[in-house]
Copies of this chain bind each other. A is one copy, B any other.
Amino acid sequence: MARAGVTVERLTLAAAELADEVGVENVTVAALARQFGVKDASLYFHLKNAHELRVRIALLALAELADRVAAALAGRAGKEALVAFANAYRAYAREHPGRYAAMQIDLDPETAAASAGVRHAEMTRAILRGYRLSEPDQTDAVRMMHSTFHGFVSLEKTGGFRHTPRPTDDSWSRTLDALDAVLTNWPSR
């Protein structure tokens, strides 16, 4: 019997695409096996378990997002950098809902530390260079920014903004204005 040529990389990519189509919760080992024309049990030669599959999707997404953000950030500073970062983040979440959802599963500390999440955090910090904040305000600001981005994107996706007719795009750009304003004028204790 011919070999199907299954590798962890190909599995992960296929799983990520499947996640974007049908949602992470429906990314099943069996469905993936079908796509590769292989029996489900065979995938356990490449994978420890179904959870590992989801973790791999998350790690892939984290890396892809970090790349995108890095590209968006290149050559920009201040508010321009903030907006570019935010838009890259939101665009990725919209284009890849399944991958984005996978990013939200909690990784164990070592995995997280080795992930592109670290790079991501560094870039968020880099934005703040345009706003001259010192510690611990910088950390707080990074957390607030990330919270706002993630919260907005997440609520937008689950329909949390649907009861008001105002276009979410407009709210998004005004939210970024507000974020820029508060970063330039960070309150003292």
Contacts and interface: CB of A to CB of B under 8 A. Distances in A.
Contacts of A141: 178
Contacts of A37: none
A152 B152 CA distance: 11
Residue from A106, A107, A164, A168 with most neighbouring chain B CB atoms (10 Å): A164
Nearest to A152: B147
Q: Which of A104, A151, A162, A163 has the most CB of B within 10 A?
A: A151
Contacts of A166: 136, 139-140
Given A152-B151, A154-B154, A182-B182, A139 B164 contact: yes
A162 B109 contact: yes
A154 to B, nearest CB: 7
Given A136-B170, A152-B143, A112 B178 contact: no
> Which secondary structure characterizes the binding site on chain A?
helix
Interface string A169-189: 011001101111110011101
Contact of A182 (B136, B159, B171, B178): B178
Nearest to A144: B175
A141 B107 CA distance: 32
A186 B175 contact: no
Contact of A187 (B143, B164, B181): B181
Nearest to A174: B140
